[in-house]
Chains A and B, each alone.
Chain A
Amino acid sequence: AQSVAQPEDQVNVAEGNPLTVKCTYSVSGNPYLFWYVQYPNRGLQFLLKYITGDNLVKGSYGFEAEFNKSQTSFHLKKPSALVSDSALYFCAVRDRYGNNRLAFGKGNQVVVIP
């Protein structure tokens, strides 16, 4: 079954510094990969996805993610973090062959320090 791992519970970064949130995946076949963000007391919001093509995917709010097949990773990045980026970030994967469900990681709490 497909799964994702987000190894860090919390990521602390100073405002203006680069932000990276790590994700590795396990899936049969080629994956569909996603990042979602959850602000306090809100539902999850879609940020970006990788389906095929360019390994660098650009998404909402200045976020991007890099797909690395050899390392089975899909790390989320932002060049310059904002205090408003403080939230819970989820990586998710769906395999291409017949399984319609998304498997989410446990999430990473990002804290951007002013």
Chain B
Amino acid sequence: DSGVTQTPKHLITATGQRVTLRCSPRSGDLSVYWYQQSLDQGLQFLIQYYNGEERAKGNILERFSAQQFPDLHSELNLSSLELGDSALYFCASSAIGGQVTGELFFGEGSRLTVL
């Protein structure tokens, strides 16, 4: 158990809808990262937050947004969903300075299916 909790584990929705994925980092970790895993694109970095502020941005679509709250949990919002958004979405966290060593602790992911 990595200590990173993601909900929901599975989500099935329709095109055009909006969903919110939630992540609770390990106790004490200030950094949260979101990754998207799909068969054709592999593991793609989406966005990173550190102590409530956006720190780095990757291949995140404009239809997607994220935030980190004062209690350090994070939410990834996906809107106007398309079939191609079907993927496994991972949250990871790291401690202060953890990013320097790259030891990210991953949750078990939220599997999104868009029909």
| A-to-B contact residues, CB < 8 Å | 32, 34, 36, 41-46, 49, 51, 90, 92, 94, 99-107
Output the least CB separation between A59 and chain B (Å). 11
Assembled-state Cα–Cα distance A20/B101 (Å): 24
A101-B48 contact given A32-B102, A44-B90, A46-B103, CB 8 Å threshold? yes
Residue of A nearest to B55 (CB): A100
Which of A34, A45, A99 meets B56, CB within 8 Å?
A99
Cβ of A43 and Cβ of B108 under 8 Å apart? yes
Cβ contacts under 8 Å, B48 to chain A: 100-101
Which of A36, A42, A102, A106 meets B108, CB within 8 Å?
A42
Cβ of A49 and Cβ of B103 under 8 Å apart? yes
Output the least CB separation between B9 and chain A (Å). 9
